[in-house]
Amino acid sequence: MAALGLFGITVPETCGGAGADTLAYALVMEELARGLDGSEDLASPGVFAWTLNGRGATLVLAAGEASPELDPAWLIERETRRRAGFASPLQRAADAYVVQRGPGKTIVAGYPWFTDWGRDTLIALRGFMTLEGGLDLAQDILLAWAATVSEGMLPNRFPDSGEQPEYNAVDASLWYVIAAHEYLKGAGDAAEPSTVKALRAAAGSASYFFLAMNTTPSEFPSCASTW
């Protein structure tokens, strides 16, 4: 395990653990190198085991109280209908990264390492705009992120537990400007006037921030007028 950068602790069964073959605590060096939390307690409340035969089998995992929606046949039918609604396997795969954030939507482009980061979400959004329905998604995401602009900055990370967003990325503002430009270009006259106004206001604030951080005082006026 050391060769893989994984170090762990096992607890013998005589001491109430799961045995020498099962890690009870792990330290993953690759995660630490990424600047992420690399420790994990590897809690395992139990083991499910069953024998599969020639008949079909369905495993349903759910939290909370059971409901009629957990009927396996109904779930399979619903998922089959959902998948049939996508134009291609690529679009179906991309949809797995689109999630709700409050009343709007976002893209967890860095899954499973982190949630929605400004840089990653906006870079990925450009690819989504090439898919069927991608412009509608882009509009929802760009408007949602427009509400988070603060002094020209966009948050680079929304903490998982609901704390304030972290404004610590200079290039997130640039990627917002690029994504907003590509959306407005792709939507053309179909873009709602209110959407155009909101995106231009947010992109304008973001572009001035990016220029102020990445140009000299003498360069800024000419660059800003060009943008």
pLDDT over 80 (residue 62)? no
Q: What is the pLDDT of residues 165-183, one digit of tens each?
A: 788 877 888 888 888 889 9
Indicate whether 66 belongs to any domain. no
Q: What is the mean pLDDT of the chain?
A: 76
- Domain of residue 11 covers 2-40
Q: Is residue 139 located within the same domain as residue 218?
A: yes
Predicted confidence band at 103 (pLDDT cuts at 50, 70, 90)?
confident
Q: Is residue 24 located within the same domain as residue 128?
A: no
Indicate whether 158 belongs to any domain. yes
Indicate whether 215 belongs to any domain. yes
Would you list the DSSP string of 59-122? Answer: -----SS--GGG-HHHHHHHHHHHHHTSSSHHHHHHHTTEEEETTEEEE-TTTTT-S--HHHHH
Indicate whether 55 belongs to any domain. no
Q: Is residue 197 located within the same domain as residue 127?
A: yes
Domain count, the chain: 2
Q: Which residue has the higher pLDDT, 19 or 128?
A: 128
Indicate whether 173 belongs to any domain. yes
Indicate whether 157 belongs to any domain. yes
Q: What is the pLDDT of residues 80-98, one digit of tens each?
A: 898 898 888 888 888 888 8
Q: Is residue 93 located within the same domain as residue 36?
A: no
Helix (H) or strand (E) holding 159: none
- Whose CA is closest to 195, among 186, 206, 184, 205? 184
Indicate whether 146 belongs to any domain. yes
